Amino acid sequence: MLTDRLPRFSLAHLPTLLEPLAAVSKFLGGPRLLIKRDDQTGLALGGNKTRKLEFLLAEALAQGADTVITAGAAQSNHCRQTAAAAARAGLRCHLVLGGQGTRPLQPPNSTQPLGGQETKPLQPPNGNLLLDEILGAKIHWAGQERRDDRLAEVARQLRAQGYHPYVIPYGGSNPVGAAGYVRAMEELAAQLAAAGERVDHIIFASSSGGTQAGLMVGAKATGFAGQVLGIRIDKNDPRESTFDAAVLKLAQATAAHVGLDKPVTAQDCVINANYTGAGYGIVGKLEREAIDLMARYEGILLDPVYTGRAFGALVDLVCRKKFPRSETVLFWHTGGAPALFAYAADLAK
């Protein structure tokens, strides 16, 4: 495999299962549906970021880092898995989260706040945020600042204090992290070959772009003949083409990083941006119905931000007969179930 030569810090339970969604397929009366269970990667309740973190943590350790820093939303799955990965590797973890808290938060093992007063929500934390704290991460709230600016500020402060931080980009989405999904596609190709299966479409949530970039490169590397289709999670805006360009650029950089000798082109970058609803993290009918359908027919939990939206899109596409009944569609479950608890008010009957 292309990724065998890359440094990797083992974190995930692999390979993740490839299973039929027989009951949902029958209910929808459309194409045959399969699911790839990356919600079961095993690190702190699992998720797709664990695959990326295997390569990112390996680079951090190789560079002599003693601390990792990353950023995300308050209910970031990426931040929760980063905190767990850091704990496994014996590294400190600092998380920059969007939003503004209301009560002081002291850093662990210190009587002085880092860079001024830190804050966190007045209400007890739940979902991913609770897990961040349990895993020992130090939380920094960005408030009115851009998260990237606050991230850079925290990194500077840590260096000034004598630490050696390694900054992980939003979503772990750079060529190093995206290599995790090149490897994932190599894993899937082996599973399909062993089972004598063929897949015509792979559908998944696409937000920071690293998972999609990795799958695009992996598809080229393995000769996958089907379609790799990302469902855009963030709200559409007039610059939507910028996201497509960013994913393509990342995929091309990832191809160079892993040593792929085949070109990755704009034709390989397929993104559906028709299901962003009212915006990022705003739960609507699409997400609620998708979560209910998967739970009640398959006993599988989706999350309200990413997989609920992406699977809802898949269901709608099936209902609109966008896939022939003779085809097989794979839904790549990227995890996120801990966020369900933080969205109880939006999901409760």
- Which residue reads 């393509």 in tokens? 248
Cα 113 to Cα 92, 110, 160, distances in angstroms: 16, 7, 14
Q: Is the dihedral of CA 259, 36, 210, 136 positive or negative?
A: negative
Q: How far apart are CA 138 and CA 156, in angstroms?
A: 15
Q: How far apart are CA 209 and CA 248, in angstroms?
A: 9
201 neighbors 330 (Cβ within 8 angstroms) = yes
Token pair, residue 334, equals: 């990227």
Instruction: Compute CA 86 distance to the chain's CA centroid, rounded to the nearest angstrom.
Output: 17
Which among 220, 226, 223 is positioned nearest to 203, based on CA atoms?
226
Peptide bond into 15 cis (omega under 30): yes
Instruction: Compute CA 186 distance to the chain's CA centroid, rounded to the nearest angstrom.
Output: 18
Strand partners, 93: 68
**Options 76, 173, 207, 208, the catalytic residue:** 76
Q: Which amino acid is at 143?
A: G
Is-catalytic flag, 76? yes
Cα 14 to Cα 41, 50, 177, 186, distances in angstroms: 7, 11, 17, 12
Q: How far apart are CA 225 and CA 219, in angstroms?
A: 8
Tell me the catalytic residues. Answer: 76
